[in-house]
Amino acid sequence: MVPKAKELSEGDRAPDFELPSSAGGSVKLSSLRGKKVVLYFYPKDDTSGCTVEACSFRDSLPKFDGLDAVVLGVSRDSLESHAKFIDKYSLNFTLLSDEGLNAHRLYGTWKQKTNYGRKYMGTERSTFVIGADGKIKKIFRKVSPQGHEAQVLAALRS
């Protein structure tokens, strides 16, 4: 039996990972120390809620840049799927491919979900605001995509 990972809390060091990046190569989270990071997990490219969330981050990116924050979206989708999603909606930030669920497991975002009584495993829409020191400053679980970027900006400013 695999032990259950410890649930992350605000103040914890953000677990490090390295994932393939839509910008080419890969991104290692620890390489971004010194910058604030908005790490958001979403279920699937080009679906309604995920598109709302991604376009909100896209439209607000200058505000994130002004706070010296990097926005990274993470899903199980392939880099090819990410490329189509980025092109279709002119996304201006990096998407990471977590097909092996490595980051999902580290951040506790791969959860049992229920839809119309059917239980299945899937991504819990979640956002982690990570400080320049590499510690988690704010955790948003079960995110509603509409207006979420404003919540994240407020957390970065506080």
In a domain, 58, yes or no: yes
C-alpha–C-alpha distance, residues 158 and 154, integer Å: 6
In a domain, 64, yes or no: yes
According to DSSP, residue 125 is labeled -
Q: Tell me the pTM.
A: 0.93
Candidate list 50, 71, 91, 95, residue with the active-site label = 50
In a domain, 80, yes or no: yes
Q: For the chain, give the mean pLDDT.
A: 94
- Which pLDDT score, from 0 to 100, does residue 5 have? 57
In a domain, 92, yes or no: yes
Domain membership of residue 113 as a residue range:
35-157
- pLDDT (mean) for 95-113: 95
Give the count of domains, the chain.
1
In a domain, 1, yes or no: no
From edge to edge, which strands make up the β-sheet containing 69-75? 94-97, 69-75, 36-41, 126-130, 136-140
In a domain, 88, yes or no: yes
Residue 4 has pLDDT above 90, yes or no: no
In a domain, 22, yes or no: no
Domain CATH for 108? 3.40.30.10
- Which pLDDT score, from 0 to 100, does residue 2 have? 42
- pLDDT (mean) for 74-78: 97
In a domain, 126, yes or no: yes
Q: Sorting pLDDT into bands at 50, 70 and 90, what band is 115?
A: confident
Cα-based angle 18, 13, 103 (whole degrees, multiple of 5): 30
Which runs of E-coded beta strand occur in 1-98? Answer: 18-20, 26-28, 36-41, 69-75, 94-97
User: Is 50 a catalytic site residue?
Assistant: yes
Phi, psi torsion values for 37, nearest 5 degrees = -125, 130
